[in-house]
Amino acid sequence: MVLLRARRFLVVFLFTSALALDNVDADPIRVLVWDEEQPKQRTVYPDFLGKQIAKHLAGRPELEVTTARLDDPEQGISSGALEKCDVLIWWGHRRQGEIPEAKGKEIVGRIESGALAMITLHSAHWSVPFMEAMETKAATDALERLPEAERSRAKVSLLGERVRKFASADARPVIQTEYRRKKDGSVEILLGRPHCVFPRCCHAVEPSLIRTILPKHPIAAGVPPTFVLPETEMYDEPFGVPEPDLVIFGETWKDGEFFRSGALWKIGAGKVFYFRPGHETYAVFFEEYPLKIVENAAVWLGTEVLVTGGRAVSEADGSK
């Protein structure tokens, strides 16, 4: 089944990429690379990590690449900036909580409509838009477990506040879900927020081995079956997020740690791709294959936004 889905993705990718290339002058894929720009980055990335990624992506003629940072006016993610964006690439770390929840909802709303796709990198698993996307996915999953006839009368209530705190070493994260059927026939779903974290991380600089699990997926195009990152930071499963629709890459370390390091979720009509490798002071984004994976994801996700009508949705809503 997974192989069949991967083949379908490949067929769609080849078709839609051809269309995008034919129309590259008229309709470039607009990519916004957003970076918190931690000062520590400059020990490895003289012009910051986000700009290093943007410089690489600018080599693709079908991509129109811009950059933004946390300290820009409106944090670089004004409604106007988002309306001019097909793919949002996000790097955040120490200042995650400075993004307003309303902005996370706006970003995820655009993803749900098909007007935007998002690529979330490494420690941005705790970013506001990623956590919002995972809450939205968890709510969708909870609704889909109900009989179809009950879904229109169901309401999801999220429990508690977002927290950014590591799980315990023996954690087995389960998204708490309780269904309460009322006398009037409606259903209240009490849903625990996904914590978007894992129990173990952050060994000192270590190499990791990345395996391509779905080699025929467009995001894996040109990526070998395995490759080694000479230095990266370790994260170890279980990752407290809703089950991904696809896991494209897995990553392991010498002591047996494992992580689903390239995962894809469908959020409404759009998609979110999480790519785990990184650290702000490790040269991961000077390496060939991490850059290739982000490039592939930007082209494939952006092509979907163009071809499936995401930009048309924006224009119909008066966003352009």
Chain segment 292-307, per-residue pLDDT in tens: 999 999 999 999 999 8
Chain segment 212-257, per-residue pLDDT in tens: 999 999 999 999 999 999 999 999 889 889 999 999 999 999 999 9
User: What b/e sequence results for 153-191 when a residue is b if at least 16 CB atoms lie within 10 Å of its CB, and e otherwise?
Assistant: ebebeeeeebeeeebeeeeebebebeeeeeeeeebebeb
- Whichever domain contains 255, its CATH number is 3.40.50.880
The SS3 call for residue 236 is: strand
- Are 311 and 27 spatial neighbours (Cβ–Cβ below 8 Å)? yes
- The owner of tokens 């009368």 is 153
Count of domains forming the chain: 1
Structural domain of residue 23, as residue ranges?
2-316
Percentage of the residues of the chain whose pLDDT score is greater than 90: 58
- Per-run averaged pLDDT (10 residues), the chain, 320 residues: 48 47 65 93 94 96 95 89 96 84 93 96 92 93 89 87 74 80 89 85 86 98 97 90 96 94 96 94 95 98 85 49
